[in-house]
Structure 1
Amino acid sequence: MASKILQRLRPSPHKDQRGPGPPEEPPEIAELVDDPDMAVRLSGTLSFSEDSLVSEGSDGTEGKSLEEPKARPLLTQQLREMWANTEGHSVPIRLTFEVTEANIVRDVHAKYVMYTIFLLHSGQYDPSPAFITCRYSDLERLRKSLRSHYPEEMSNVSFPHKRLHKNFTAETIAKRSRAFEQFLCHVSSLPALRRSPKFLGFFYLSDMQKAQRLTCTGLYKLALPLWTNCWRLQEKLCPTWASTHRLLVLDGLVVCHLELDTLADAQAYSEQALALLQASQEQNVTLLIAFLQAHIQLSWRVGRDKRDSEAALMKLKEAGHSMSNTPTLKEILIKATID
């Protein structure tokens, strides 16, 4: 992958004819692992932008878009070929990370590179890959946090070094992009790290907080893409866990779709929430009642069967749980502390 990226991003020798400049610095070391299998999994296409001006948003954030990147390669060509060649054979499903864009951002305070990293499942067609945008410093903070809490597991995980010069050359950005892919793949392959709140929160916690603020202020169209991407991230990172974060994301999705009158989607997400809650050993009764009430209302409005939810709600009532003072999904979302 690195060679392909470097060929695409290497500056043209005809752009500068002013003679030889200062001697080249030695290449970065100890930041890439020579792993042939990794190269097969990660050989994608990196889109590089020389300049990108990012204005500060209304909520004080910068650099991160509320919508998915316009140039969105769902799958790399090599993954497509792999699936075509393995038709009829069992292929292990893995979570892979692919840097698809690297934009140099200039604002009044700093200049930095913003990386767009897609998460997708290899070994099967993935119609809805999730993505994050982050800077070198964001990933470095993640590495330091994981090393602090999991020193043994992180002892052999490599990470690209800082550089004093040439941080914005195409070659440096391409090398770092591949190193970030390897770093995230390595961390996610270790069960203790993949399940850690520090690792999971890195991917979706800030977006959850932004989506909550937007939802609470009635900006449902802006909040919905954030909730949707959070859900896709969680589906890939923790597909079977009924965590509070996952239930709050489903809460946000139901509320936004309900307010935007896309009732079928709201009903479908309420069903997913009920499936997680009912499979969980430690049920959140407040959320369960709120989702049951929402599911009954939505199922009635879209013409779906609501009898199971009505029976479950009746059992909770017979067990002594009050229905009159139970907050709605929107009230729960407004009062929730996401951290």
Structure 2
Amino acid sequence: MAAHILHRLRHALAGEGSREERARGSSEVEDFPESSELEDDTEGLSTRLSGTLSFTSHEEEDEDEDEEVDGAGEELGEAPQLAGAAAGAEDGGRCWGQCAGEWSPAAERPGSSLLTRQLQELWKKSRGSLAPQRLLFEVTSASVVNERSSKYVLYTIYLIRSGQFDKAPAVIARRYSDFERLNRRLRCRFSCDMAGVAFPRKRLRRNFTAETIAKRSRAFEQFLSHLHSIAEIRRSPEFLEFFFLQDLRAAQRLTCTGMYREALATWANAYRLQDRLGVCSSGRFLLTLAGLAVCHQELDELCEAHSCCEQALQLLEAQGSHPLLGPFLQAHIHLAWKVGKDKRRSEARLQDLQEAGPPLQQQPTLKECLIKEPLE
């Protein structure tokens, strides 16, 4: 009897186990679809997470940014947001959000707004000390010139401000001997600074092959860029006069011979060259404005001449006396009367100048000053 009861108990337990296995098997079929369905679902998952932030890549970017702003970190101090980001890395990146556009707890942390304010303050401090625009030197063409007694290559070089388009760019044309003379003069005066500046050497033959001309063109571009990167050199008369002294001499000669249209183009190029080089307050620049004013006036372009005189008088505003101040005031008063502009301020300044100096009849005109000015 006991054996019969035990047998029935075992049979009942076995039946319940089989039902549980069948139930478990059916749920497993529901929970785990076929392999093809699983692959399709994986593809859908990858599509949905295509905008997820890659935390590994962000760690690398943060390291690069830390190297760039290392100096600023000392001024700003510890940034709380960076510490929060590091904590997020240990947590598996939870504070960065799970997908693109999802709310992130880090956005509401006080460190986030604090870092933003610090960066804004740093930007405000640095706005007044931004680096000037870079000046590019580009050899756009080179031509072989044959003269009776010599043969040489003439290199045409454009001076271009980076990030800008010039409708009328500043341009010079120089030969190898011009570059060599500049190199020699600078090495005599700035021997230490010029020690690391490379210059293409002379060649005994094959100077006029396309390969040599191309190599020298690139070398001259690098040579001028290196010189301009040294503050002492780019402000030196040797470097500056290499660019615009030839134009000033040619423009003065053309003005003296009455070729005002040709002279005007040369004065205008000298103006652009000095503007690119950042020497718009020197005596050479005032002479350039005088040349432009005289040529415009002789060509009956009175408004342009008046504008040149106004620009020159603005530069001379802070100077008590200058050889060109009186001639510019006279020219400005005459042109203002011609074009119907206000001339009272210039008349008052000229009156004060006459009371402190020679009478008006003894002062030269702007054209006389321009012709007599020695350009060495």
TM-score by length of 2: 0.62
What's the CA shift for 1:288?
0.4
Aligned to 1:275: 314
Question: Which amino acid is 2:332 matched to?
Answer: H
Aligned to 1:244: 283
Match of 1:259 among 273, 283, 298: 298
Alignment check: 8 A CA contact 1:230 1:249 kept: yes
Does residue 224 in structure 1 map to residue 251 in structure 2? Answer: no
Does residue 194 in structure 1 map to residue 237 in structure 2? Answer: no
What's the CA shift for 1:141?
0.8
Task: Give the direction of change, closer, same or farther, for the CA distance of 1:308–1:125 in structure 2 (3 Å limit).
Answer: farther
Cα displacement string for residues 186-218 of structure 1 (whole angstroms, at most 9, x for unaligned residues): 111211111111111111112211221221121
Q: Secondary structure at the match of 1:116?
A: strand
Task: Indicate the structure (1 or 2) with the bigger Cα radius of gyration.
Answer: 2
Q: Secondary structure at the match of 1:155?
A: helix
Aligned to 2:163: 123
Aligned to 2:329: 292
Aligned to 2:200: 160
Please give the alpha-carbon distance, in whole angstroms, between the structure 1 residues aligned to 2:345 and 2:219.
Answer: 50
Aligned to 1:172: 212
Q: Secondary structure at the match of 1:202?
A: helix
Q: Percent identity?
A: 56
Task: Give the direction of change, closer, same or farther, for the CA distance of 1:330–1:170 in structure 2 (3 Å limit).
Answer: same
TM-score by length of 1: 0.69
What's the CA shift for 1:135?
0.6
Alignment check: 8 A CA contact 1:245 1:338 kept: no
Q: Secondary structure at the match of 1:165?
A: coil
Aligned to 2:187: 147
Structure scoring higher RCO (CA < 8 A, sep ≥ 6) equals 1
What's the CA shift for 1:319?
3.4
Please give the alpha-carbon distance, in whole angstroms, between the structure 2 residues aligned to 1:120 and 1:308.
Answer: 37
Please give the alpha-carbon distance, in whole angstroms, between the structure 2 residues aligned to 1:212 and 1:171.
Answer: 38
Cα displacement string for residues 73-128 of structure 1 (whole angstroms, at most 9, x for unaligned residues): xxxxxxxxxxxxxxxxx995111111001011122212211100011211333333
Please give the alpha-carbon distance, in whole angstroms, between the structure 2 residues aligned to 1:104 and 1:165.
Answer: 15
Alignment check: 8 A CA contact 1:99 1:115 kept: yes
Q: What is the total number of aligned residue pairs between the two structures? A: 247
Cα displacement string for residues 27-57 of structure 1 (whole angstroms, at most 9, x for unaligned residues): xxxxxxxxxxxxxxxxxxxxxxxxxxxxxxx
Question: Which amino acid is 1:201 matched to?
Answer: E
Match of 1:100 among 140, 153, 157: 140
Alignment check: 8 A CA contact 2:279 2:285 kept: no
Aligned to 1:333: 370
Match of 2:248 among 194, 200, 208: 208
What's the CA shift for 1:318?
3.6
Q: Secondary structure at the match of 1:133?
A: strand
Question: Which amino acid is 1:226 matched to?
Answer: T
Aligned to 1:301: 338
Q: Secondary structure at the match of 2:194?
A: coil
Question: Which amino acid is 2:294 matched to?
Answer: V
Aligned to 2:151: 111
Please give the alpha-carbon distance, in whole angstroms, between the structure 1 residues aligned to 2:132 and 2:234.
Answer: 18
* Structure with more of its chain in helix, by fraction: 2
Question: Which amino acid is 2:344 matched to?
Answer: R
Task: Give the direction of change, closer, same or farther, for the CA distance of 1:91–1:334 in structure 2 (3 Å limit).
Answer: closer
Please give the alpha-carbon distance, in whole angstroms, between the structure 2 residues aligned to 1:275 and 1:326.
Answer: 20
Q: Secondary structure at the match of 1:312?
A: helix
Match of 2:348 among 311, 314, 317: 311
Question: Which amino acid is 1:268 matched to?
Answer: S
What's the CA shift for 1:320?
4.5
What's the CA shift for 1:224?
1.3
Q: Secondary structure at the match of 1:102?
A: strand
* Structure 1 unpaired stretches of 5+: 1-89
What's the CA shift for 1:271?
1.1
What's the CA shift for 1:244?
2.1
Alignment check: 8 A CA contact 2:306 2:335 kept: yes
What's the CA shift for 1:322?
2.4
Please give the alpha-carbon distance, in whole angstroms, between the structure 2 residues aligned to 1:270 and 1:154.
Answer: 39
Alignment check: 8 A CA contact 1:93 1:124 kept: no
Q: Over aligned residue pairs, what C-alpha RMSD do you find?
A: 1.8
Q: Secondary structure at the match of 1:324?
A: helix
List structure 1 segments (4+ residues) > 4 angstroms apart after TM superposition.
none
